[in-house]
Structure 1
Amino acid sequence: MIVTCPKCSTRYNLPDAAAKPDAKARCTVCKHVFSLAEVVAPSVGGQTPGHDAASASGSDVSDIIGEVKGYNLDATPPKPEEKKRKRTSLVVALVMLLLVGAGAGAWKFWPRGADKAVDEAAQKLAASEQIKNIALRNVRQYYINNEKLGQVSVIEGRVVNNFTSPRELIKVEASLYDKNGATVVSKTQLCGTTVSLFHLQVLGEQELETALNNKIDILTNNTSIPSAGEVPFMVVFYNPPSTVTEFGVKVVEARTPPEKKQ
């Protein structure tokens, strides 16, 4: 007869005479003791198809328990559903491992300059929002003969605040171009200061720069400019190259005044 352990499914081939009403056996694999009468399965020619059963002898309960030790067959193979669940779990674990590895690799190989580039792009976007409603008015360019410096190129005009709220510390960039449109020289300048024609003719370079960057004039004229308010600007180039044929001006910076504390 074929006996299957009800706990671990290990199977044994025991003599039919061992199946007494009160006979018990102990499994050699899990050590579980069980009643033979409850687990007896019919055998075919003393064998279960597909498995080689071992034999045990004895009729006494103690003999059966003692003889069963060492006569065990392989446990019943896992059900297909269990194998499928194990395979699924393995696949999920591998996918998670690949995702974690990919994330770690992306972090490791993220370009070192990427964060800096993102920050610079954000700053440029914020700056463009601050100047989009600042307009230029009455812009002109002309040359002056300076007694100390020779010929100087002057670009002047006014900036207009077309925002509905105040702006301040507006800065412009003036450029000189050759006939092909290539930039020959550029210069940035805070608005709010100008000098007279006489000063342009007689002052040296250092004196002119000091006058055009006078902090008192800049703070007086280029702070808390109201909506529709205007501010003058002047940019001077010393001894400009003879290849210059064109000029250009653009607003490059403006700020929102801090809120006043009440």
Structure 2
Amino acid sequence: MKNKRMFWNIVEKIETLIDSGAYPPGSRLPPERELAETYLVSRPTIREAIIALEVRQRVEVKTSSGVYVLEMKGAKQDSRPCSAFELTQARALVEGEAAALAAVTITEAELAKLKLTLEAMQKGINADQADREFHIIISNATRNNAVVLAVENLWKLRDTRDEIKNAYKNVCSQSDSDRLDEHTRIYNALKNKDSQAARSAMHHHFNRLINALFAVSEAKALEEVKRKSNETRGLYSLNHLVN
């Protein structure tokens, strides 16, 4: 019974990562050995989990190639509008408390994983993926499944809404050093088991991000005003009469 629970636990964890966009359709799951090390289980347990995922039509096993994520049939996107500003505010509220919780419960192994993501960001190696993993590790460290689901669903919105994806792309690509500094502050607060500092560092991170979003939005609005003004000037100008 214990092995069965462990096997289904792995299935649920991998499905959650797939749903969050960490493993998008068409991507390959990590090798069996790596998954076993990540989840601290045996390789036979990972094989059973993969079989279950294949039966659920979440993955396809290709001989001598690997395990690939399938597109969910009939998947529908919620039509309710959500802006990048709304998402960022929600993330600040949820992930700020997640960081405060995690500061009390985070393990040395999880801190080590967080440090690896910081090193990846510093080196510019899949920095966006490292960013996502950083936040997911913290949510898992809370030991609260509701918090984990909330964080993963917010990331899913970030990764699936074109408006939000484009807005984040405009600011994230311009602030790699700020992002690394902010994540380092969060990491240090977690390492020191300081809940208040962890919450504050997370809020500081999202506050900078939302202000950057406003700056980009304002710049685009100003550019549009200038464009329309130039069109109107061209229409009503008397230059051709006075020259």
TM-score normalised by the shorter chain: which range applies?
under 0.3
The two structures have a TM-score, normalised by structure 2, of: 0.22
Higher-helix-fraction structure:
2
Specify which structure has the bigger relative contact order, considering alpha-carbon pairs within 8 angstroms and separated by 6 or more residues.
Answer: 2
Structure showing greater radius of gyration is 1
